[in-house]
Amino acid sequence: MAGLERREWVRVWDPLVRVAHGVLVLGFAIAWLTEGKPAWLHEWAGYAVAATVALRVAWGIAGPREARFASFVVRPSAALTYLRQLLALRAPRHLGHSPAGGIMVVALLASLAATTATGIAYLGASRDRGPLAPLLGAEAARLQAEAAARDETRIRRPARWLKQVHDAAAEITLLLVIAHVGGVALASFAHRENLPRAMVTGYKQAPDA
């Protein structure tokens, strides 16, 4: 531990990465806990997450080195190797994202994108609200009117499958979040460093010389 304390502190995570991380955590937590009640809070939490995912993807292409996907996205085999080493508490320390952490970043961004995209589509198709309402809301109304004109007892609701996909994507995201938290806790223990604090401050201790 004495050696760790003598290390210099270096900035790893830039402000945009840290703020985006916080918004995604808070936004998903609010959307999950509200479950649509009140609807406006659930919807705006979803919009915040969607906008932040888009921004983080753009930053992963044009941002500084540690934020770019090219610096931490690796082959799945490399991530599995790292996970095995981590479980044995023998994994090498990484200043930025570890191989498993990089895969998790991509998985979380993809699942959050799927969750918010289907949520926005469902909102437009079922309630005629949101940015997709002019397209999906009008289409839903047309299908309903055609079904009523034919006196069909089975209601055609294009929003039904969107709701099912949205719920499934949210469940997958929650499972990924749980796995992510567990991985961060294990890596913090294995490397004797506070990774959540590093994401808040942006600083980590430099590697050994």
pTM: 0.84
> Which residues does residue 11 pair with via DSSP β-bridges, in sequence order?
203
Q: How far apart are CA 206 and CA 4, in angstroms?
A: 9
Q: How far apart are CA 42 and CA 39, in angstroms?
A: 5
Is 80 exceeded by the pLDDT of residue 91?
yes
Asked whether the bond before 99 is cis by omega within 30 degrees of 0, the reply is no
DSSP string, 100-144: HHHHHHHHHHHHHHHHHHHHHHHHHHHHS-STTIIIIIHHHHHHH
Structural domain contains residue 85: no
Tell me how long the chain is: 209
Structural domain contains residue 46: yes
Residue span of the structural domain in which 172 resides: 19-69+90-197
Structural domain contains residue 60: yes
Structural domain contains residue 78: no
Domain count, the chain: 1
Higher pLDDT, 164 or 148: 164
Residue 209: per-residue pLDDT: 47
Structural domain contains residue 45: yes
Q: How far apart are CA 30 and CA 170, in angstroms?
A: 12
Residue 145: per-residue pLDDT: 56
Place of tokens 């990484």: 94
CATH number of residue 164's parent domain: 1.20.950
Mean pLDDT (whole number) for 112-132: 87
- Taking the CA atoms of 29, 194, 61 and 168 in sequence, report the sign of the dihedral they define: negative
% of residues, the chain, pLDDT over 90: 70
